[in-house]
């Protein structure tokens, strides 16, 4: 699939430190140790109700990973999927009397526009589930042939992974069985389905049902792929095993990331799928997780349609740490708008407080498990010192604001030039219609 256009990425003097991140599997902050090219898989949207601020916060967290790695001298191979066939997408299309293909394409287009406006670096590979079906089917055939998967004996053609044979099962999430069963039931699993070998076996292939789209499948059984084998297959086909970071929101810890890893590890008989599993906390609204099922969504495109600067949205979401559940509020946005205005006034001056400390501070804070609030405080302090030169700041440097602009742009992804709305940044009638 087509991704979206890349924003300009200024080159900064020197290189930043190695990035440390919290790995869910080890339960602690660890140093990432990529090779020359860092490899990251960030789970993409299921294309309906896109892009809400929860989605945006998660993609912004992994955009910081991308930026910090690049600043540390790595190339980055980022992969993202689009879950353009799955139960919830079909349910939404059905509810609204809409073609699921049209729904998916329109929401993916809107997501691209929102990512562009938020200046998120695009993935090197942006891959849909539907276009991956032939590869997915091959993988399921392999698991069946090796006796690691089985066809349910009820005539549906549904195929399951036999997780009792997966030695690494549970290693990513570290959950006990009760917790796994609870999340599995909540997040698309079917623990009570009759005929499964184990309640926690995940579906690999769903045999065709009346009125549902289907494709040729394993052993000639038409149907459509399960969710976790989609991401396992796309990762294997692009960045392979042992990549540096598997990313997503904390609601993907179990079952999604556990099973993607288990599928891929079974397919390749190697470990690990990812060297670190990194999860962004949930954005809420009025005391509840912002989610499609609750319908309490604030959309990036709606804010853009109301004239909100996307850079203020970016700053508002980065004002909290990515591992802290937090709420979206109007005050948060107003604070970010005020901060953006202050930064822009300081950055527009010909001279300012020394920029070297800002670059050092941004690098130091962000490489420490993406401390974006700490990084923002570094720029706040610089802006105050630059704007309030009357209180004895005699160390003004010519050109410092230009260097701070570059550092803030490259590392935080916040452009401090006045916004220039182009056609891609215009949210258009779709957003207005929501
Ligand atoms: N297509 C799958 C991943 S393969 C999926 O989870 N799609 S999604 O559209 O439901 O979510 C896209 C990303 O946004 C996921 O990483 C998810 O964890 C994250 N996300 C969803 N809701 C929130 C929220 N309220 N706060 C933060 N992140 C969220
Ligand atoms: Zn995924």
pLDDT in tens, 380-415: 999 999 999 766 556 899 999 999 999 999 999 999
Residue matched to tokens 């069963």 = 181
Query: Which range (134-148, 365-379, 412-426) has the least confidence?
Result: 412-426
Report the b/e string of 12-30 with b at 16+ CB within 10 A: beeebeebbbbbbbeeeeb
pLDDT in tens, 8-21: 999 999 999 999 99
Give 43 Cα–ligand 1 centroid separation in angstroms: 8
Record the tokens describing residue 119, joined without a space. Answer: 């200046």
Strands 283-285 and 277-280: unpaired
**What pLDDT is stored for residue 393 in this prediction?**
55
Q: Model's pTM, two decimal places?
A: 0.96
- Whether 422 has a pLDDT exceeding 80, the answer reads no
**What pLDDT is stored for residue 394 in this prediction?**
64
Surface-to-core class of residue 422, CB atoms within 10 Å of its CB (0-12 exposed, 13-18 middle, 19+ buried): exposed
Contact 367, 381 (CB under 8 A): no
Strands 37-42 and 75-82: parallel
Backbone phi, then psi, for 229, in 5-degree steps?
-70, -25
Mean pLDDT of the 139-147 span:
98
Cα 22 to the chain's mean position, in Å? 15
- Whether 133 has a pLDDT exceeding 60, the answer reads yes
**What pLDDT is stored for residue 347 in this prediction?**
98
Mean pLDDT of the 71-90 span:
98
**What pLDDT is stored for residue 289 in this prediction?**
86
Calpha distance 114→63 (Å, rounded): 14
Ligand 1, pocket residues at CB < 6 Å = 43-46, 54-55, 57-58, 81, 83, 231, 248-249, 251-252, 280, 282-283, 289-291
From atom 13 of ligand 1, which residue's Cα is the shortest distance away?
Answer: 55
Q: 266 or 394, which is more confident? A: 266
Calpha distance 358→342 (Å, rounded): 16
**What pLDDT is stored for residue 418 in this prediction?**
65
Strands 75-82 and 125-128: parallel
Give 50 Cα–ligand 1 centroid separation in angstroms: 10
**195 contact partners, CB below 8 Å, separation of at least 6:** 152, 153, 154
**What pLDDT is stored for residue 426 in this prediction?**
53
Mean pLDDT of the 128-139 span:
98
Q: How many residues does the chain have?
A: 434
pLDDT in tens, 175-216: 999 999 999 999 999 999 999 999 999 999 999 999 999 999
Calpha distance 85→105 (Å, rounded): 11
- Whether 137 has a pLDDT exceeding 70, the answer reads yes
Strands 203-207 and 20-23: unpaired
**What pLDDT is stored for residue 419 in this prediction?**
58
Cα 380 to the chain's mean position, in Å? 27
- Whether 421 has a pLDDT exceeding 60, the answer reads no
Give 375 Cα–ligand 1 centroid separation in angstroms: 25
At 216, is the secondary structure helix, strand, or coil?
coil
From atom 9 of ligand 1, which residue's Cα is the shortest distance away?
Answer: 45
Atom of ligand 1 nearest to the CA of 42: 16
Mean pLDDT of the 262-276 span:
98
pLDDT in tens, 19-76: 999 999 999 999 999 999 999 999 999 999 999 999 999 999 999 999 999 999 999 9
From atom 20 of ligand 1, which residue's Cα is the shortest distance away?
Answer: 55
- Whether 433 has a pLDDT exceeding 80, the answer reads no
**What pLDDT is stored for residue 432 in this prediction?**
46
Instruction: Name the average pLDDT for the chain.
Output: 95
């Amino acid at each position: 699939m087509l991704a979206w256009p890349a924003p300009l990425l200024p080159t900064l003097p020197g290189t930043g430190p190695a990035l440390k991140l919290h790995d869910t599997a080890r339960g602690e902050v660890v140093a990432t140790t990529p090779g020359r090219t860092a490899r990251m898989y960030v789970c993409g949207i299921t294309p309906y109700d896109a892009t809400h601020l929860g989605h945006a916060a998660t993609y912004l967290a992994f955009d910081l990973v991308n930026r910090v790695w690049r600043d540390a001298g790595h190339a980055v191979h980022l992969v993202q999927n689009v879950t353009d066939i799955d139960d919830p997408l079909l349910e939404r299309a059905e509810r609204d009397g809409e073609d699921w293909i049209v729904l998916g394409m329109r929401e993916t287009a809107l997501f691209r526009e929102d990512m562009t406006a938020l200046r998120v670096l695009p993935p090197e590979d942006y891959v849909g589930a539907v276009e991956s079906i032939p590869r997915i089917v091959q993988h399921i055939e392999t698991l069946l042939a090796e006796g690691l998967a089985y066809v349910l004996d009820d005539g549906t053609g549904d195929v399951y992974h036999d997780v009792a044979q997966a030695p690494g099962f549970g290693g990513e999430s570290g959950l006990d069985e009760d917790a796994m069963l609870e999340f599995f039931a909540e997040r698309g699993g079917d623990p009570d389905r009759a005929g499964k070998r184990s309640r926690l076996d995940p579906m690999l292939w769903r045999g065709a049902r009346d009125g549902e789209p289907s494709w040729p499948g394993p052993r000639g059984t038409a149907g459509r792929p399960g969710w976790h084998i989609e991401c396992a297959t796309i990762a294997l086909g692009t960045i392979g095993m042992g990549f540096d970071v598997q990313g997503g929101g904390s609601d993907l810890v179990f079952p999604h990331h556990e099973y993607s890893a288990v599928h891929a590890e079974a397919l390749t008989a190697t470990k690990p799928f990812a060297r670190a599993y990194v999860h962004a906390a949930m954005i809420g609204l009025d005391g509840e997780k912002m989610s499609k099922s609750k319908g309490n969504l604030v959309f990036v495109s709606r804010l853009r349609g109301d004239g909100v600067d996307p850079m203020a949205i970016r700053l508002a979401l980065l004002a909290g740490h990515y591992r802290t559940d937090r709420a979206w509020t109007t005050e948060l946005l107003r604070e970010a708008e005020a901060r953006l205005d202050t930064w822009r006034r300081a950055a527009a001056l010909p001279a300012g407080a020394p920029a070297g400390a800002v670059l050092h501070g941004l690098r130091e804070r962000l490489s420490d498990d993406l401390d974006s609030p700490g990084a923002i405080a570094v720029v706040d302090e610089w802006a105050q010192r630059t704007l309030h030169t009357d209180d004895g700041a005699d160390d003004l440097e010519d050109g410092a604001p230009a260097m701070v602009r570059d550092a803030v742009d490259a590392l935080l992804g916040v452009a401090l030039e006045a916004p220039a709305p182009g056609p891609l940044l215009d949210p258009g009638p779709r957003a207005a219609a929501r």
